[in-house]
Amino acid sequence: MDGTVQYYNEQSNKWNILIVDNDNFIHQIIKEMNKDFTFEGRTVNFHSAYNTKEAIEVLEDNRDIVLVLLEAFLEKEDSSLDLVKYIREDIKNEDIRILLMTEKNINGLEGNIIFDYDINGYEKKSELLSKKTSAVILSSIRSFRDISRIKSNRKSMERIVSSISNLYEKDAIGDFLISSLCHLSALINQCKGMGKENCNINSFAAAREGTSNIFRIIDGKGKYKDCINKTIRESVSATDLMKINKIYNEGEHELFDNVYIARYKSTSGSEAILLVENQSKDNYIDIELLDIFYKSVSATFDNLCLNLEIEETQKEILYTLGEVTEARSEETGSHVKRVSKYCQILAEEYGLSPRDIMLLTHASPIHDIGKVAIPDNILLKPGKLTGEEFNIIKSHTTIGYNLLRNSKREILKAAAIVAHEHHERYDGKGYPRGLVGEEIHIFGRITAIADVFDALDSSRVYKKAWVMNDILNYFIEEKGKHFDPKLVDILFENLDRFLEIREKYSDITEQSSEL
């Protein structure tokens, strides 16, 4: 065995018991006396071993043994204790109940043996075989069952805590609800090692659509697998719909006969409903644990929704600041939208993490925030700038960085990097610090391409827009000089997507929408 403990499957129809004794009569009498034994609708299934070697083989082949009835003296005086050691130390199974049985006197060592070797009981065979067998077996099975449930619930709580601690990294309510649904299904149906991909428990997670009372399913398993994007009303039976309405109107969560339903509501207005069927009426479900799970998920759901609301507000403010900066340069807000979309494509194709893609996408609109400090006579000058005027223009990178660098918010930290480094060049001839190659943060390298691509394609007070062929030739010439060569390749590989964004957010379209 590999040392991995496997808890008893409550959906099994047998309680597996191992008898270890060199006397076959003991095996036969115990089996005969308990042939009609049942507990919680399950019968007993006896396995026989006549020495420690055979016992180990049975334990290797049957990982759900609940009780070992063990002769205290087998081949050698310590053989039985060696088997106990094997169970507790070698395969690290603390759940199996071990009962010593003997006719011999063990010289007053009974207490020490039971204590030192983690044995759960001691019975004389004469008493055990006369009247106590069923009671001993019942007591041992109950003890095993309760330990197994406690450990299973503990594992479920560990998964819940682990899930909740990692949910903030997902940055999406949908991911949070899908993960919560998976753990809830495992908790209710006593699933072991079941992941999101192979779960077949009838269950779904649904989120409220906008400010309406419509809940749309975002993830479904089992019979709800094909209901994703459908409404709850379209997907459930009339009976379950009544239960859902009861929870929505009167309660928070409830375990009905065959289904558990929970409603989660955040202070920011977002709402969700999780439904999980209990697919075995024999399953033991810890109501207190369900309540703990509900409260934990509710609190995390609320915090996540609030954080996302704050983040969305930050993003909106950044876009507004970017548009204000561009408006001061007598340009439309479409420039910052296009730069943001271009950055998103480049970041995705470069292989940045979802979190970094999000940060760059929403930080890039204020790459020129430092221009707020540049005088109008220089910023709006239609002719060629003097050397001194150009140095003043270049200072917008450092000004923008200094405005943002002390923020503790991730998006503003990213924006500080973008503002500072989007005019650096790959060959080290850029400004303000003359960084070379990958010394330039990837956010700066990406924004440089997005910004220049859009700037060349747009008319300014000091120039006309370039034709697309000239723009592309410029990027070919500046590959490895001004721009990161890998990012230039990504630009050309995704040129059709760039052109779609260019069309969708064109300055003409922007101006028409304002009329």
> pLDDT digits over 228-285, tens only?
999 999 999 999 999 999 999 988 999 988 899 999 998 888 899 999 998 765 556 6
**For residue 292, which amino acid is it?**
I
Per-residue HEC secondary structure of 236-285 comes to CCHHHHHHHHHHHHHCCEEECCCEEEEEEECCCCCEEEEEEECCCCCCCC
- In this predicted structure, the answer to whether residue 1 has a pLDDT above a threshold of 50 is no
Indicate the CATH number of 14-159 among 3.40.50.2300, 3.40.50.720, 3.20.20.80, 3.40.50.10420.
3.40.50.2300
**Does residue 95 carry a pLDDT above 60?**
yes
Among 470, 464, 469, 427, smallest CA distance to 448 is for 427
In terms of pLDDT, which residue wins out, 280 or 148?
Answer: 148
Give per-residue pLDDT as tens, 84-94: 989 988 988 88
14-159 matches 329-505 in fold:
no
What is the Cα–Cα distance from 159 to 175, expressed in whole angstroms? Answer: 16
Mean pLDDT of 220-226: 92
Spatial contact of 445 and 484, defined as CB atoms under 8 Å apart = yes
Are the C-beta atoms of 403 and 370 separated by less than 8 Å?
yes
The 10s digit of each residue's pLDDT in 112-139 is 565 667 888 878 888 888 767 888 899 9
Helix (H) or strand (E) holding 510: helix 507-513
E strand or H helix that includes residue 164: helix 133-167
Q: Domain limits of the chain? A: 14-159, 167-307, 329-505
241 vs 108, 208, 244, 248, CA distance in Å? 65, 15, 5, 10
- Residue 12, pLDDT score: 59
CA distances from 493 to 8, 447, 497, 499 (A): 55, 17, 9, 12
Percent of the chain with pLDDT over 70: 82
CATH 2.60.40 fits domain 167-307: no
- pLDDT confidence bin for 104, thresholds 50/70/90: low
Longest CA–CA separation in the chain, Å: 111
More confident: 69 or 168 = 69
Q: How confident is the model at residue 352 (pLDDT cuts 50, 70, 90)?
A: very high
Query: What is the DSSP track for 61-105?
Result: H-TTEEEEEEESS-SSTTHHHHHHHIIIIIS----SEEEEEESS-
Looking at residue 168, what DSSP letter applies?
T
Rounded CA-CA distance 80/320 in Å is: 77
Q: Nearest CA to 114 among 102, 126, 125?
A: 102
Please give the model's pTM, rounded to 2 decimal places. 0.53
Tell me the pLDDT band of 376, cut-offs 50, 70 and 90.
Answer: confident
Superfamily of domain 329-505: Hypothetical protein af1432 (1.10.3210.10)
Q: Are 393 and 375 in contact (CB under 8 A)?
A: no
Edge-to-edge strands of the sheet including 97-102? Answer: 38-39, 42-49, 14-20, 65-71, 97-102, 121-124
pLDDT (average), residues 55-76: 89
Render pLDDT for 384-402 as a digit per residue (tens, 0 to 9).
889 999 999 999 999 999 9
For 319, the token pair is 């876009």
pLDDT-based confidence at residue 194 (cuts at 50, 70, 90):
very low
pLDDT, position 109: 47
Torsion on CA atoms 337, 338, 340, 341, rounded to nearest 10: 120
Phi, psi angles (nearest 5°) of residue 199? -70, 130
pLDDT reported for residue 184: 83
What is the tens place of the pLDDT at every residue in 9-23? 554 578 999 999 999
Among 102-106, 194-198, 419-423, the range of highest mean pLDDT: 419-423
- What mean pLDDT comes out for the span 91-116? 72
Backbone angles phi, psi at 115, to 5 degrees: -70, -50
Residue 230 φ/ψ region, left for φ over 0, alpha for ψ in the -120 to 50 degree band, beta for the rest: beta
Is residue 121 within a helix (H) or strand (E), and if so which, with residue range?
Answer: strand 121-124
CA–CA separation, 154 vs 289, rounded Å? 9
* Cα–Cα nearest to 183, from 290, 69, 336, 256: 290
C-alpha distance across the termini of the chain, in Å: 76
Nearest-angstrom CA–CA distance, 364 and 353: 16
**Mean predicted lDDT score pLDDT of the chain:** 83
